[in-house]
């Protein structure tokens, strides 16, 4: 059992804007406990703090300042927890802090750079790396991902990819068994055999989480997300299984509605944004107070799920995320206060061992049989009927295998049946006698032999002996040679099997799905590949589903999407990542080629060495002389071979790392694309609503039908306008090519006169009206046309804003 208080760490987020200095200071003198001092600026101190204290000091295990990289956070906070999980203990890491303080960044990571990946992907990578190194145990890993919003649990790993609202995800409920253990009904557990599969699950969960979020529920700030790695391990042949769980928790934002409370008094329940965080605080208070018998875990789903992590069987770590800007001082102090209380909680982690029922049953059955036999022996229960033919045969087989067994410990087990025991003795006696007779006869014949032969002449005998000696020598040489050859062939076979795997890795492009960790794993096994394919299939089908909307888009909408995409802030990130991905791909390709080269060089060197060997041996045998050796040359070849192998290994390791990075970048890009699509849909819907509300003209346009009333002159006018607003203008405003549909079969009423505007605005408006009436290819489908019109209207708004902005 390991007794440990909850470890608390603080991480300060870099400020969004340049920030005044002196708000906080960190004291991390190695000899002292690190402390964080938050200093209330003088201008705030009066109205803001009741008791006029000017600074607050908090102690943490360690404090990470703004420049702390994700790698450092992982090494110092998550790695020790991951290690104890590998040893069989439960672990929890939870991030607590106000919205925007970096909880998600710390737990999951940033969506822009590979180096920004957070604790979850790094922990997965670390755990799978360790599992591969340890061949003494059999490990199985499962993943689950739960979101709790408003006291309701949702399974984020719903593979159907159909959720567009949180409510569409499967609902997870709590069940308590008679031992008061909590079970989560409906939360799916997915096996992950390697890092890539686990990352795909994380990605699936995060995408579902993003898609299910609406401005109404603001799930990312008001919900708790619990990513759990379930690890079981078992030694081969043992009936004992160890289970460990690692919860990685991204809690809801801890901010309160009312900006007060720095003075220390507790706020009333109603003022909490998130009731479950209030209950979490109550649990923490109860746990940190001595002599409290009742801990109110059951008040909320989150505290029930994390029951073991809080004051139970778990090694728990808290990361207080702080956004130490002036306006966040009270929230930061409140976060630190919470952490100080959490640090008082003592947990007792035990190894979660359990007996595997199947192995246990086999052991017990054997024991029962032995006991029955013993009992029969002791009670002297006699069996009178004779043994059957089959039983006799079976016994004789047992005796034969017993005699053939080289193990001195082996036993002849026939059970406590005296008839069988007697038969065994009889049979053994018979065998012994038969053997004796046989030996006598052979000995006598051997004795007789010399008698029948002529005595060999001494000279002849010597000659034969010499010949025999010579032959022996030759045989020895050949045997040695064969042994060496055999070893080399084995090496070559082993090597080429590894190579084959690598060829597959290198040749299929982009990288084949599989475990990035290479030879020792099932990266190259067909079964894993097919599994991985299905995982990838899932991913692409998810994306397809999410981006499928786009394929169903009308032309206008697609056009609008293109522009929206181009103007979107994330497009820079996507483009950057695309560039990096491109670089990585070409690096991987070049590396692949070098690996191929190195491999063929290794092959040639090996061939050369073997060839020389065979030549030498052949020469030695045929001339009956010692091997003519040229050690220098051979040493040279060998050292070349070693050098090539070393180079090969380095390149292969790099290629593996590159593969992981490429995978991750692809996931990041996929995620960014889904996000973009989602935001576009929201923007589009909003614009369409505005259009319908604001513009009766658009409504009438929506339902425009080919009409003789659309006068020639109007059409002429609009065409004129359209021509005036040449491509130059379209380019100036970044409008894509809509195609010109002169003489369209449909004629549409132009918009009513634009409302009074500034000259710039009205020119834009004129341009737009011109485009609206004649340049846009109307499809005849009223939905599509209204899409186009909605887009144009929206575009008009943007342009107006731009014009106003430039003035
Ligand atoms: P929370 O989950 O607490 O609401 P986020 O993790 O979403 O906050 O962080 C808010 C923003 O700040 C994000 O854009 C994130 O990328 C950025 N951010 C947070 N922490 C850091 C950090 N340590 N370094 C750089 N950027 C950060
Ligand atoms: Mg967040």
CA dist., res. 118 & res. 581, Å (int): 20
Question: Ligand 2 center to residue 227 CA distance, Å?
Answer: 14
CA of 206 to the centre of ligand 2 (A): 11
pLDDT band per the 50, 70, 90 thresholds, residue 573: confident
| Residue 719: pLDDT over 50 | no
Report the residue count for the chain: 807
475: preceding bond cis by omega (within 30 degrees): no
Of all protein residues, whose CA lies closest to atom 1 belonging to ligand 1? 100
Distance, C-alpha 144 to centroid of its chain: 11
Chain segment 136-147, per-residue pLDDT in tens: 999 999 999 999
Q: How far apart are CA 434 and CA 237, in angstroms?
A: 41
The ligand placed nearest to the CA atom of residue 224 is 2
CB distance 736 to ligand 1 below 6 Å: no
- The CB of 321 under 6 Å from ligand 1? The reply is yes
Greater confidence (678 vs 173) lies with 173
When the pLDDT of each residue in the chain is averaged and rounded to a whole number, the result is: 75
- Own/partner contacts of 634-637, CB < 8 Å, gap of 24 or more, are 634/609, 637/605, 637/608, 637/609, 637/612
Q: pTM score > 0.75 for this model?
A: no
pLDDT for the residue 212: 82
Average pLDDT over residues 648-664: 90
Q: In the predicted model, is pLDDT for residue 294 greater than 60?
A: yes
pLDDT band, residue 162 (cuts 50/70/90): low
pLDDT beyond 80 at 188? yes
Reduce the DSSP state of residue 325 to 3 states and report it: coil
The helices-and-strands tally (H runs, E runs) of the chain is: 23, 17
DSSP output for 126-186: HHHHHHHH--SSEEEEEEEEEEEETTEEEETT-TT---SSGGGSPEEEEEE-TT--EEEET
Query: Binding site for ATP: what residues are annotated?
Result: 97-104
Q: What pLDDT, on the 0 to 100 scale, is given for residue 91?
A: 95
Examine the pLDDT at 657 and tell me if it is beyond 70: yes
716 pLDDT higher than 50: no
**Ligand index nearest the alpha carbon of residue 206:** 2
User: CA dist 263 to 260, 323, 365, Å?
Assistant: 8, 19, 68
Whether the pLDDT of residue 690 is over 80: the answer is: no
CA distance 87 to 621: 58
Mutation test of ligand 1: which of 12, 102, 322, 325 has the most ligand atoms closer than 8 Å to its C-beta?
A: 102
pLDDT in tens, 479-497: 776 777 677 666 665 554 4
Task: Please give the residue that has the higher pLDDT: either 309 or 552.
Answer: 309
Strand partners, 243: 232
CB of 109 within 6 A of ligand 1: the answer is no
Note the ligand closest to the C-alpha atom of 213: 2
Verify whether ligand 1 is closer than 6 Å to residue 264 (CB atom): no
Q: Is the CB of 223 under 6 A from ligand 1?
A: no
Q: Would the pLDDT of 724 be above 80? A: no
Q: What share of the chain is helix, strand, coil (3-state, %, to 5)?
A: 60, 15, 30
Reported as a single tens digit per residue, the pLDDT across 401-432 is 898 888 888 888 887 777 888 889 989 998 88
CB 123 within 8 A of CB 82: yes
What is the Cα–Cα distance from 717 to 719, expressed in whole angstroms?
A: 5
With 90 as the cut, is the pLDDT of residue 174 above it? yes
Q: Does residue 110's CB lie within 6 angstroms of at least one atom of ligand 1?
A: yes
Q: How far apart are CA 317 and CA 83, in angstroms?
A: 13
Q: How far is 420 from 435, CA to CA, in rounded Å? A: 23
Q: What is the mean pLDDT of residues 454-471?
A: 76
Q: Is residue 345 classed exposed, middle or buried when 0-12, 13-18 and 19+ CB atoms within 10 A define those classes?
A: buried
Ligand 1 in reach of 108 Cβ (< 6 A) = no
Q: What is the rounded CA–CA span in Å between residue 441 and residue 138?
A: 56
Q: What is the pLDDT of residues 348-358, one digit of tens each?
A: 899 988 888 88
By the 10 Å C-beta count (0-12 exposed, 13-18 middle, 19+ buried), 698 is classed as buried
Convert the pLDDT of each residue in 245-268 to its tens digit: 999 999 999 887 544 444 444 444
Residue nearest to atom 16 of ligand 1 (CA): 110
Ligand 1 centroid vs 99 CA: distance in angstroms?
9
| 582-591: long-range contacts, CB 8 A cutoff, minimum separation 24 | 584/658, 584/661, 584/662, 584/665, 585/510, 585/662, 587/658, 588/511, 588/655, 588/658, 588/659, 588/662, 589/509, 591/651, 591/654, 591/655, 591/658
How many alpha carbons fall within 13 Å on the CB side of residue 753?
3
Of 248, 125, 126, 145, nearest to 189 by C-alpha is 145
Position 116 pLDDT exceeds 70: yes
Contacts of 152 (CB under 8 A, 6+ apart): 171, 301
- pLDDT digits 0-9 by tens, 1-58: 888 899 999 999 998 777 666 789 998 877 788 999 999 876 655 555 555 568 899 9
pLDDT digits (tens, 9 = 90+) for 53-91: 688 999 999 999 999 999 999 999 999 999 999 999 999
Higher pLDDT, 763 or 801: 801
When pLDDT is cut at 50, 70 and 90, the band that residue 237 belongs to is confident
pLDDT at 6: 94
Virtual CA dihedral for 181, 182, 188, 191, nearest 10 degrees?
-40
Q: Backbone phi, then psi, for 58, in 5-degree steps?
A: -130, 140
Q: Which residues are annotated as a binding site?
A: 97-104
The alpha carbon of 248 and the centre of ligand 2 are apart by a number of angstroms equal to: 13
Portion of the chain with pLDDT greater than 70, in percent: 68
Q: Write down the pLDDT at residue 268.
A: 40
Mean predicted confidence (pLDDT) in 380-394: 79
What is the distance in A from the centroid of ligand 2 to the CA of 72? 20
Q: Provide Rg for the chain, Cα atoms.
A: 39
Q: How far apart are CA 538 and CA 201, in angstroms?
A: 10
What was the pLDDT predicted at 687?
Answer: 77
Residue 698 has pLDDT above 80, yes or no: no
Q: Is 103 in the pocket of ligand 1 (CB under 6 A)?
A: yes
Strand (E) or helix (H) holding 499: helix 458-507
Tell me the per-residue pLDDT of 206-232, one tens digit each, with 9 for 90 and over.
999 888 887 776 777 889 999 999 999
454 CA → ligand 1 middle, Å: 102
pLDDT of residue 47: 53
What pLDDT is attached to residue 612? 85
Expressed in angstroms and rounded, the spacing between residue 109 Cα and the centre of ligand 1 is: 8
pLDDT band with cut points at 50, 70 and 90 for residue 327:
confident
- 782 sits in the region (left: phi over 0; alpha: psi -120 to 50; else beta) called alpha
The verdict on the CB of residue 100 being under 6 Å from ligand 1 is yes
């Amino acid at each position: 059992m390991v007794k440990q208080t909850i470890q608390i760490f603080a991480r300060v987020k870099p400020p969004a804007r340049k920030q005044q200095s002196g708000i906080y200071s960190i004291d991390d003198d190695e000899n002292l406990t690190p402390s964080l001092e938050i200093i209330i600026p003088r201008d705030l101190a009066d109205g803001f703090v009741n008791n006029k204290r000017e600074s607050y000091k908090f102690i943490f295990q360690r404090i990470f300042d703004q420049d702390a990289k994700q790698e450092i956070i992982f090494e110092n906070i998550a790695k020790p927890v991951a290690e104890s999980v590998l040893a069989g203990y439960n672990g929890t890491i939870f991030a607590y802090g106000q919205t925007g303080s970096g909880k998600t960044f710390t737990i999951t990571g940033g969506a822009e750079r590979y180096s920004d990946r957070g604790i979850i992907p790094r922990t997965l990578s670390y755990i799978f790396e360790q599992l591969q190194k340890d061949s003494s145990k059999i490990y199985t890993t499962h993943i689950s991902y739960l979101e709790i919003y408003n006291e309701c649990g949702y399974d984020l790993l719903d593979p159907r990819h159909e959720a567009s609202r949180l409510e569409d995800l499967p609902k997870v409920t709590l069940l308590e068994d008679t031992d008061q253990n909590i079970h989560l009904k409906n939360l799916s557990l997915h096996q992950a055999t390697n890092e890539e599969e686990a990352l795909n699950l994380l990605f699936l969960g995060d995408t579902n989480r993003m898609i299910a979020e609406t401005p109404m529920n603001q799930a990312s700030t008001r919900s708790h997300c619990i990513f759990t790695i379930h690890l079981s391990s078992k030694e081969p042949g043992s009936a004992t299984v160890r289970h460990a769980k690692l919860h990685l928790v991204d809690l809801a934002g801890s901010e309160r509605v009312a900006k007060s409370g720095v003075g220390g008094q507790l706020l009333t329940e109603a003022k909490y944004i998130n009731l479950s965080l209030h209950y979490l605080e109550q649990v923490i208070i109860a746990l940190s107070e001595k002599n409290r018998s009742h801990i109110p875990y059951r008040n909320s789903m989150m505290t029930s799920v994390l029951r073991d992590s809080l004051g139970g069987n778990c090694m728990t770590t808290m990361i207080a995320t702080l956004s130490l800007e002036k306006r966040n001082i009270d929230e930061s102090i409140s976060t630190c206060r919470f952490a100080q209380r959490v640090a008082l909680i003592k947990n007792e982690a035990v190894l979660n061992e359990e007996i595997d029922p199947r192995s246990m049953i086999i052991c017990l059955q054997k024991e029962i049989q032995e006991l029955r036999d013993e009992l029969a022996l002791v009670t002297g229960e006699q069996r009178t009927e004779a043994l059957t033919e089959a039983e006799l045969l079976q016994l004789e087989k047992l005796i034969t295998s017993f005699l053939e067994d080289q193990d001195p410990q082996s036993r002849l087990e026939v059970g406590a049946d005296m008839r069988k025991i007697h038969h065994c003795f009889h049979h053994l006696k018979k065998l012994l006698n038969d053997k004796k007779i046989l030996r006598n006869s052979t000995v006598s014949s051997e004795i007789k032999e010399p008698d029948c032969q002529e005595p060999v002449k001494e000279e002849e005998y010597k000659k034969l002996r010499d010949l025999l000696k010579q032959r022996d020598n030759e045989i020895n040489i050949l045997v040695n040679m064969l042994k060496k050859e055999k070893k080399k062939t084995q090496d070559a076979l082993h090597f080429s099997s590894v190579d084959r795997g690598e060829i597959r890795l290198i040749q299929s492009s982009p990288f084949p799905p599989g475990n990035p960790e290479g030879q020792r794993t099932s990266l190259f096994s067909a079964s894993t590949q097919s599994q991985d394919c299905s995982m990838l299939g899932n991913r692409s089908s998810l994306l397809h589903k999410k981006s499928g909307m786009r394929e169903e888009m009308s032309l206008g909408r697609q056009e609008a999407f293109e522009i929206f995409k181009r103007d979107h802030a994330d497009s820079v990130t996507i483009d950057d990542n695309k560039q990096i991905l491109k670089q990585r791909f070409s690096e991987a390709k070049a590396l692949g080629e070098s690996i191929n080269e190195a491999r063929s060089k290794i092959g040639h060197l090996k061939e050369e060495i073997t060839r020389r060997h065979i030549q030498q041996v052949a020469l030695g045998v045929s001339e009956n002389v010692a091997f003519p050796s040229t050690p220098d040359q051979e040493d040279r070849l060998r050292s070349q071979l070693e050098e090539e192998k070393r180079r090969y290994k380095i390149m292969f390791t790099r290629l593996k790392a590159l593969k992981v990075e490429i995978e991750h970048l692809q996931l990041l890009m996929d995620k960014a694309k889904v996000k973009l699509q989602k935001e576009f849909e929201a923007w589009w819907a909003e614009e369409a609503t505005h259009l319908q509300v604001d513009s009766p003209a658009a409504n009438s346009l929506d339902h425009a039908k080919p009409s003789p009333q659309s006068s020639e002159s109007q059409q002429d006018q609009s065409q004129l306008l359209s021509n005036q607003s040449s491509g130059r203008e379209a380019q100036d405003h970044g409008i894509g090519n809509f195609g010109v549909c002169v003489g369209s079969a449909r004629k549409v009423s132009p918009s009513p006169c634009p409302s009074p505007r500034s000259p710039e605005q009205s020119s834009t408006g004129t341009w737009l009206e011109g485009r609206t009436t004649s340049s846009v290819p109307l499809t005849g489908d009223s939905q599509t046309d209204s899409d186009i019109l909605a887009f144009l209207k929206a575009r008009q708004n943007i342009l107006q804003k731009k014009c106003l902005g430039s003035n």
